Amino acid sequence: MSEKKVYRFDEGNAGMRDLLGGKGANLAEMSNAGLPVPPGFTITTEACNDFFVNEEVLSDELMEQVTQAIADLENRTGKKLGHPENPLLVSVRSGAKFSMPGMMDTILNLGLNDQTAAGLAEQTGNPRFAYDSYRRFIQMFGDVVLGIEHYKFEEIIMDVKEKRGVQLDPQLDADDWKKVIDLYKTLIKKETGQEFLQDPIEQLKQSIHAVFSSWNNTRAKIYRKMNHIPDDLGTAVNVQTMVFGNTGEESGTGVCFTRNPSTGEKKLYGEFLLNAQGEDVVAGIRTPQPIAELQDSMPDIYEQLVAICNQLELSYKDMQDIEFTIENRHLYILQTRSGKRTTQAAIRIAVNMAREGILTREEALMRIQPEQLDHMLHRRIDPDASLKTWAKGLPASPGAASGQIVFDADQAEALTKQGKKVVLVRPETTPEDIHGILAAQGILTSRGGMTSHAAVVARGMGKACVCGCEQLKIDLRNKTVTTEDITLREGDLLSIDGGTGQVFIGEVPMIDPELSPEFQELLAWADEKRKLSVRTNADNPSDARKARELGAEGIGLCRTEHMFMDPERVPIVQEMILAEHEDERKQALARLLPIQKEDFKGIFQAMDGCPVNIRLLDPPLHEFLPHLEELLVEITKLQVTGQEATPEYRQKENLMKKVRALHEFNPMLGHRGCRLGMVYPEIYRMQVEAIFKAAVECIEEGVRVEPEIMIPLVGHVQELKRMRVLVEEVAEEIMRQSQMAVSYKVGTMIEVPRAALTADQIAGKADFFSFGTNDLTQTTFGYSRDDAEGKFLHIYVEQGVLPHNPFISIDREGVGELVRIGVEKGRQVKPGLKTGICGEHGGEKASIQFCHEVGLDYVSCSPFRVPLARLAAAQAAILNK
C-alpha cells in the first residue's frame, strides 16, 4: 500500500501539525495565503515513525514519493537538481509538531557539487557566493550527515584566513573558498575514507536520514523530557527551494518577532544580517543589526515585512517568530511559528491580545503555562543599590542572577548538583550546552544577538540571560573572562541583570519582584473563572502576608513544627520531651504556651478575615533531639579516652537513652501525627490553648479570626473523635474564661489510605478534610520520599515505569483514586464537607486540574505558587466547562 508520505506545501494547511509538523503546517498555510514562500514539500511525521520502526532505513516507497516531489519542484522552479547550469538547490529541515528550536538538524544548499557550484558561479556571476554556499553545504553535510566535528571545519577556515592575513569571513574571496573546499574534501576523505558525495539525490537521501535520526539525538530527548513532549511524535522533514541571503549587499537574512519576546511590547522586534545565510543569525556567530535598521537600508522590504507580520499574527492569533531571507531585494518568508517568549512577555501579549479583541479572556488565560508564573516571581536587583556596571550586553532574557562563573555546561551541571549557584559564561551557546543552561542561574555570552541560541533557550526556561556582551574576552582554555582591566576566573562571583543587560562583579542585593499590571489583570480574570479556592501554606506572618499579596484566600496548612524548631525554643522543647513525668512535661509546655500564642497571633493578624488552618504537632519527637549517630560518636570518644566517670558522659548517656527510646526504624510510619496527641494529650492541649488565647486577643483587637484546627495523620475515626473532644474542651474553657465566642472548625488530614477508605466514618467527626497527598503518596505507593527519589524513583521516571514523579504531580490512578473515594464517602455522610489539598501537589498544574475534577473546595500551596494555582484552577474550570 502506498500511503501519502510527502505533501507539497500547497497541499497542506495550519491544521495538519500532527502530520506535517509545526513548520510544515505553517509553510503550507503561508503558501496558500499567497505569502512569498519558496516552494517545497514536507515529508510527514508518519514517515519518520516508519523510519524508526524500520530500523532507521528509508523505504523505497518513501524515496519514490520524494523523487516525484523533487521532479514537481523542478517543474515549478524551472531548475533541476544537479543540473550543471541551472541547478535546483534545497534546504532540508526538521520540523516536529512542537517547536524544538536548534535541537534537530538542518542542511542548507543541498544540490551543490563540484559541477553545480561552478554552474551557480556562472549563472549568478558571483563565484564568491557560489563557493561560499558550497563550502557551507559541505560543512553542514559533513557535520550532520557524516558526523565530523564542527570545529575541524572552523579550524580550516581559520588557517586559510591566517594565511591570507584576514580576520573576517567576508574578507575571503572565491578562490579562498575554493581552497577551503579542497581542504574540506581532504578532511572528509581522511575522516570517512570516502570522497565527498557528488550525487544530489543521494545527498538528499542521506540528509533526510540524518534529520530523521536527529529526532533521537541526546539533546532532542532532553529537550522533549524537559518540555513534556512525547517521544513518539516524530519529526517531519521540510525540503524547500533555497533562496540566498548571501548573494551580496542587496541580500540578507533575518529573524523577527511580531512583538517583543522579552517584554511583550507591541513592536516589531528582530535582527538581520546583510549578505548572510540564516544560520549566521541564529548561531550567534556574527552579531546582527536590529530590525529597525532595515527600514533605513531597504524601506520597501521593511514595509512588506511589517504587513506580512501583521497578517500572520492575526491569522495565528499569536505572536509570531518569522524567518525571512532577502535575495537580491526579494523578500521570502522561510518559516513562521509561535514565538518563544518570556513569561512577562507572554502575559503582556495575552492580556493585550484580549484587550485588542484578538483573543477572548478564556483564550488569553489558556495561553499562559501556569508554571511559567514562577519566573515572574523571581527576585530582581535592588534598583536602589549603588552598583558599578562591569560590562553591558544585550538584555536577552529578564531576571537577575548571581553565581560562580563556570565556562562549560558540564561544570555548570556538576556544581549545581553540589548545591552551588553558577552563571554560565560562554562566547556563544549551542544546543550541546542545554543541560548547562538548565543548571545555571543565568547565562552570559560575548557573542550573538537577541535571537541567538542562548537568548531563545534562556527565555524559554525563564533564565536570566545577557547576550552579545562583546567587550568581554572569554578564554576557555585558561578559564578567564576579561575586560580591558579586570580578569575574573572560574569560581569568581558574578551577577547579571537580563532585563538591562548589565553585568556586575560579585553578588548584588536583590529585592522581591514587582508584579506587572498585566499579571494582576490576568489573575483577576483567572479568579473570575476558577471554582477552586486558593490558600497558602504558611507558618509565619511574613509568609502569610506575602501569600495574601499574591492572592491567597486563607491558610490551608500552618505547620506548627517549625515553631518548635526555632533555635531559641529547642531547649524548652527538649526539656518537654525528656521529662520523666507528665508534670515536668506540663511545666515545659507552660513555657512554650505564651510563645506559641504569639506565633498564632501574628498569623491571625496577617490573615485577618481569612480562614487559618493550623495543623497540630506532626513530626516524631525524636526530630527535636540530637541525632543518634552524633551522640554515639561523642559517647564512643569519651569511652575510648576514659572519661566514663565525668558528668558530661553521664549526661550524654542519659540523653542517649531517651534518643534510643524514641528512635524509630521507619519514622515516617511511626509515632507522629495525632498518635502524639493520643499518647501525650498535654502537648495538643497546650497548642489548642495557644490558638484560642491568640484568637481571643485578636478579636479584642478587632481582627477577624477563623481558626481551623487540623488533626494530622488520622487513620481511624476514634482518633479524631478523641482529639475533637480535647479541642472542644480546651476551646470551651478559653471561651468561658474570656467570655468571648470564637467560631472554629475541627477537621483532619487525610494522608493515610485507611483514612480515605473509611472517610464516611471520619466525616462524621470532621468539619473538613485536607488531603495530605505527599504522605498519601508515600503510603499508597509504599515509597519513602527521602529514600525513593535517590535510589530508584529517578530510574523509574527515566525508564518510563512511571509517567512522572508522583511526588511532583499527583498519581491519578492510585493516590487520586483514594482522594476520589475519600471525597465521595465523606460527602455521602456530610454533603457540605469542606475538602482541600495541602502540600506540593497544591501548587502543581496537573494536580490542580485533578483537584478541580474531583470536586475539592480548595488547594493550598506555598506563597510563591499562589498565582500559579489561581491560573491553573481557572484553566481547569475552562477545560472542564
Annotated binding-site positions for substrate: 559, 615, 751, 772-775
Instruction: Tell me if 722 contacts its own copies by CB under 8 A.
Output: yes
CB 335 to its own copies: min, Å: 39
Instruction: Please identify, using beta-carbon distances, which residue of 395 and 753 lies nearer to its own copies.
Output: 753
Select the residue interacting with its own copies from 57, 486, 511, 633 (CB under 8 A). 633
- Residue tagged 493550623 (cell numbers): 614
- Angstrom distance (rounded) from CA 501 to CA 150: 30
Q: Does 805 bind its own copies (CB under 8 A)?
A: no
Cβ nearer to its own copies, comparing 439 with 723: 723
Stretch that binds its own copies, among 72-80, 196-204, 438-446, 776-784 (CB under 8 A): 776-784
Cell of 513: 519582584
The interface region with its own copies, picked from 223-231, 299-307, 651-659, 672-680 by CB under 8 A, is 672-680
Of 392 and 722, CB closest to its own copies: 722
- Do 268 and 296 meet the contact criterion of CB atoms below 8 Å apart? no
Closer by beta carbon to its own copies, 640 or else 645:
640
Smallest gap from Cβ 752 to its own copies, in A, equals: 4
String of DSSP letters for 457-478 = HHHHHT-EEEE--TT-EEETTT
β-pair partners for 504: 495
Applying the rule CB under 8 A, the residues between 810 and 839 that interact with its own copies are 811, 813-815, 817-818
Separation CA 350–CA 369 (nearest Å): 12
**11: which DSSP letter?**
G
Beta bridge partners of 557: 537
Site for its own copies in 678-697 (CB under 8 A): 678-679
Closest CA to 682 of 748, 584, 594: 584
Q: Could you tell me the smallest distance in angstroms from the CB atom of residue 778 to its own copies?
A: 6
Nearest-angstrom CA–CA distance, 373 and 343: 7
Q: Any contact of residue 626 with its own copies (CB under 8 A)?
A: no
For residues 385 and 508, give the distance between their C-alpha atoms in angstroms, rounded to a whole number: 8
Provide the residue type at 259 as one letter.
R
Of 569 and 615, CB closest to its own copies: 615
**Binding range to its own copies, per CB under 8 A, among 40-48, 467-475, 573-581, 774-782:** 774-782
Show binding-site residues: 559, 615, 751, 772-775
Can residue 779 be called a binding residue for its own copies (CB under 8 A)?
A: yes
Between 83 and 675, CB nearer to its own copies: 675
- Taking CB under 8 A as the binding criterion, the range among 131-139, 395-403, 452-460, 794-802 that sits at the site for its own copies is 794-802
Say if CB 315 and CB 336 are below 8 A apart. Answer: no
- Return the half-sphere exposure (C-beta side, CA atoms, 13 A cut-off) of residue 4: 9
Cell 504587513, residue located: 307
Output 295 or 643, the one with its CB closest to its own copies. 643
CB of 751 to its own copies, least distance (A): 7
In the annotated binding site for Mg(2+), the residues are 751, 775
* Residues composing the chain: 881
Among 636, 737, 828, 880, binds its own copies (CB under 8 A): 636
Q: Is 800 in the site for its own copies (CB under 8 A)?
A: yes
Interacting stretch for its own copies, rule CB under 8 A, among 26-34, 216-224, 509-517, 661-669? 661-669
Tell me the per-residue interface mask from 413 to 452 with its own copies, x by CB under 8 A, - otherwise: ----------------------------------------
Pick the closer one to its own copies by CB: 280 or 751: 751
Binding of its own copies by 666 (CB under 8 A): yes
542 makes contact with its own copies (CB under 8 A) = no
List CB contacts of 560: < 8 A, sequence separation 6 or more.
Answer: 539, 596, 599, 614, 615, 616, 617, 618, 687
Q: Is 783 an interacting residue with respect to its own copies (CB under 8 A)? A: yes
For position 595 contacting its own copies by CB under 8 A, the verdict is no
In the bound state with its own copies, the residue whose beta carbon lies nearer, of 421 and 663, is 663
Catalytic residue list contains 581:
no
Q: What is the distance between the alpha carbons of residues 431 and 447, in angstroms, rounded to a whole number? A: 15
Q: Which is nearer to its own copies, 790 or 832 (CB)?
A: 790
453 is catalytic: yes
**Do residues 129 and 175 touch, judged by C-beta distance below 8 A?**
no
Among 52, 98, 316, 781, binds its own copies (CB under 8 A): 781
d(CA 851, CA 870): 13
Q: Which of residues 729-768 bind its own copies (CB under 8 A)?
A: 751-754, 757-758, 761
843 binds its own copies, rule: CB under 8 A: no
Contacts 24+ apart (CB under 8 A), 290-293: 291/254, 291/256, 292/268
* Nine-digit cell string for 645: 566517670
Residue choice 1, 53, 168, 640 for contact with its own copies (CB under 8 A): 640
Kind of pairing between the strands at 394-397 and 400-406: unpaired
**What is the secondary structure of 611-673 as a DSSP string?**
EEEEEPP-S-GGGGSPPHHHHHHHHHHHHHTT-TTSHHHHHHHHHHHHHHHH--S-GGGSS-T
Buried-state track 331-363, b at ≥16 Cβ within 10 A, e below 16: bbbbbbbbbbbbbbbbbbbbbbbbeeebbebbe
Cα–Cα distance for residue pair 811/795, rounded to 1 Å = 17
The only residue of 379, 420, 716, 804 in contact with its own copies, by rule CB under 8 A: 716
Q: What phi, psi does 110 have (nearest 5°)?
A: -65, 140
CB 753 within 8 A of CB 771: no
784 lines the binding site for its own copies (CB under 8 A): yes
According to CB under 8 A, which one of 553, 618, 682, 775 is a site residue for its own copies? 775
Q: Out of 719, 840, 844, 857, point to the residue binding its own copies (CB under 8 A).
A: 719
State yes or no: residue 802 binds its own copies (CB under 8 A): yes
- CB nearer to its own copies: give 715 or 863: 715
**Candidates 26-34, 218-226, 782-790, 845-853 — which segment interacts with its own copies by CB under 8 A?**
782-790
Per CB under 8 A, the segment of 73-81, 151-159, 660-668, 832-840 that binds its own copies is: 660-668
Determine the 3-state secondary structure of 98 from DSSP. coil
For residues 477 and 665, which CB has a smaller minimum distance to its own copies in the complex? 665
Among 174, 655, 668, 878, binds its own copies (CB under 8 A): 668
Pick the catalytic residue: 558, 610, 838, 851? 838
Strands 706-711 and 745-750: parallel
Q: Minimal CA–CA distance to 101: which of 485, 547, 332, 431?
A: 431
Question: Using the rule CB under 8 A, is 675 a contact of its own copies?
Answer: yes
> Would you say 833 and 746 are in contact if contact means Cβ atoms under 8 Å apart?
no
Tell me the C-alpha to C-alpha distance, in Å, between residue 818 and each of 618, 717, 815: 22, 17, 5
Question: What's the start-to-end Cα distance of the chain, in Å?
Answer: 42
Binder of its own copies out of 33, 201, 414, 632 (CB under 8 A): 632
Q: Which amino acid is at 684?
A: Y
Question: Would you count residue 715 as binding its own copies (CB under 8 A)?
Answer: yes
- The answer to whether residue 248 forms part of the interface with its own copies (CB under 8 A) is no
Size of the site for its own copies (CB under 8 A): 57
SS3 track for 389-429: CCEECEEEECCEEEEEEECCHHHHHHHHHCCCCEEEEECCC
We find the least distance from the C-beta atom of residue 804 to its own copies, in angstroms, to be: 12
Q: Is 248 helix (H, G, I), strand (E, B) or coil?
A: coil
Among the listed residues 453, 622, 841, 852, the single catalytic one is 453
Q: Which chain residues interact with its own copies by CB under 8 A?
A: 628-629, 632-633, 636-637, 640-641, 664-671, 673, 675, 678-679, 713, 715-716, 718-719, 722, 751-754, 757-758, 761, 775, 778-784, 786-788, 791-792, 795-796, 800-802, 811, 813-815, 817-818
> Catalytic residue numbers?
453, 838
